[in-house]
């Protein structure tokens, strides 16, 4: 019984945290493409507008039309 508790504390909890961090990083990485970094609003095809319509955060677009900041 003690083994199960020790196994759970020292293995499953850190493993859960690592998986959670990986999921968090993956979501953040996918958000970086054409989405507002503050609120996640899709900034794709807003024309000449350089400000998020949802939260007002300014952004810049590179030569390919991708949001870079
Ligand atoms: Zn925004």
Q: pLDDT by residue (tens digit) across 5-62?
A: 787 788 888 899 999 999 888 877 766 678 888 998 988 888 788 999 999 999 988 8
Q: What is the pLDDT of residue 30?
A: 67
Structural domain count of the chain: 1
Residue 52 CA to ligand 1 centre (angstroms) = 5
Residues 6+ apart with CB under 8 A from 52: 36, 38, 39, 41, 43, 58, 59
* Residue 54 domain flag: yes
* Residue 66 domain flag: no
* Residue 48 domain flag: yes
Q: What is the pLDDT of residue 65?
A: 77
Expressed as residue numbers, the domain containing 32 is 28-61
* Residue 12 domain flag: no
Q: What is the pLDDT of residue 39?
A: 92
User: What are the residues facing 51 on neighbouring strands?
Assistant: 58
Residue 67 CA to ligand 1 centre (angstroms) = 12
Report residues near ion ligand 1: CB below 5 Å. 36, 38-39, 41, 52, 54-55, 57
Radius of gyration from C-alpha coordinates of the chain: 20
* Residue 40 domain flag: yes
* Residue 16 domain flag: no
Alpha helices (runs of H) in the chain, residue ranges in sequence order: 2-7, 13-31
Residue 69 CA to ligand 1 centre (angstroms) = 11
Please tell me the distance from the alpha carbon of residue 39 to that of residue 9, in angstroms, as a whole number.
35
Q: State pTM to two decimals.
A: 0.50
* Residue 35 domain flag: yes
């Amino acid at each position: 019984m003690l083994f199960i508790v020790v196994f759970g504390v020292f293995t499953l909890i850190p493993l859960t945290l690592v998986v959670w961090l990986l999921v968090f990083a993956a979501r953040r990485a996918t958000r970086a493409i054409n989405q507002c970094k503050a609120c996640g609003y899709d900034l794709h095809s807003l024309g000449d507008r350089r400000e998020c319509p949802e939260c007002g955060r300014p952004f810049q677009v590179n030569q390919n039309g991708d949001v870079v900041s």
